[in-house]
Every structure is written in structure tokens, then in C-alpha cells.
Amino acid sequence: MARCIHCNIKFKPKYFLQKFCLVDACVDASIKYALNFNSEKEIKKRVEKMKVEVEGTNLLEKASRKIFQQWIRERDKYLPCISCGKTDIQLGPNSFDAGHFFSAERFSGLIFEETNVHKQCKGCNGVNMHGNLAEYRKGLVARYGEDYIWELESISNENRVYKYQRSELIDIANKYKMKLKALQAKNSA
């Protein structure tokens, strides 16, 4: 025997895990219950799918950033640190990062902006120096001129907050994979 969850009357279930008796009012209630139950299941599935997509997008952004940063280091391979001027000979070839002038954390729209990212030694780009921005700026001016800084500053506020779509990140990753291969081939020739 079971008890109907709608009218609270004891009944003999005809089906396994039957929760409602077969009185008309209870049948209507069971239909509403089933619809709500399925809706809740659908909502849970959608929420889980969204979580997976967000986690997937975050992983995709990390992978795209890694490829982009490899390309930056290869692009600037023969240049010194943008901030302090130290070279590979002084520090070793694995002592450099791809440092952002406008930080990637605060200016998400400039993460993949080639003009905002340059070869920077791990000391200048590290936690203690916070990017060594004053010297970074001087390095940019010395290398490209004052107009370069003005152009970079003009696009910085427009691109402060940006959320990349999955398709954009895939395109970015593919673009910089191709550019990296081409640059590596050119530099090794």
C-alpha cells in the first residue's frame, strides 16, 4: 500500500513508484507534478551544460593565451626585455614571459592585442615588479615612439571588459598556431 501525495488516501499502486492514486483530481495533479519534475530536470541539465561550457571556455582561453604568448616570445626572440633591456645572453632563453602593458586581468579585451604584449623578463613581469610599467612605457616609447603609446591608451578603455566567445577563442588559437609555425620556420632558416 502507498499513500497518494495529493489527496493523502491509501491506495494499491498499479505501477512501480506510483505516487498518486487514480482519482481524476489526483491524475490531474500527477500530470502537473510530472511536468514540473521534467522542467526541474531540464533546468538542472541546462545549468550543468552551462557550467561545462563556462569551464570549457575558461580552459580554451588559457590554451589560446598560452599559444599567443609563445608567439609573442618567438616574435620578440632577438629583442631585449621591453622594461629593463636585459637579453637572452644575460638571463638565458627561458627567462622571459610575454608581458602585457595593460594587464590581462584588468583589460580582458587586450589579452590578445599584439601591440599590448611584448617580451619581458620574468623579473620585471613578476609579482615583485608588477610588470615594471614605468620602464615598460619607456621601452615602448624608445622602440616605437610616443604615438604608439597614445594609440594603445586610446583602445585600452574601450577594451577594458570583454568576454570571449568559444568560437573567437578557437579562431585565436588557430591563428596564433599558424603564425607561430610560420615564425619558427622563418627564425630557424
pLDDT score recorded for residue 116? 95
d(CA 189, CA 179): 15
Mean pLDDT of 113-135: 91
d(CA 94, CA 188): 17
Query: CB neighbours of 119 closer than 8 A, spacing ≥ 6?
Result: 72, 73, 75, 76, 77, 79, 80, 81, 82, 96, 97, 98, 99
Which is higher by pLDDT, 48 or 50? 48
Instruction: Tell whether the model's pLDDT for residue 39 goes beyond 70.
Output: no
Average pLDDT over the chain, rounded to an integer = 86
Instruction: Tell whether the model's pLDDT for residue 98 goes beyond 70.
Output: yes
The structure's pTM equals: 0.70
pLDDT score recorded for residue 90? 87
Give residue for cell 498499479: 14
d(CA 159, CA 104): 11
Instruction: Tell whether the model's pLDDT for residue 172 goes beyond 90.
Output: yes
Mean pLDDT of 65-70: 95
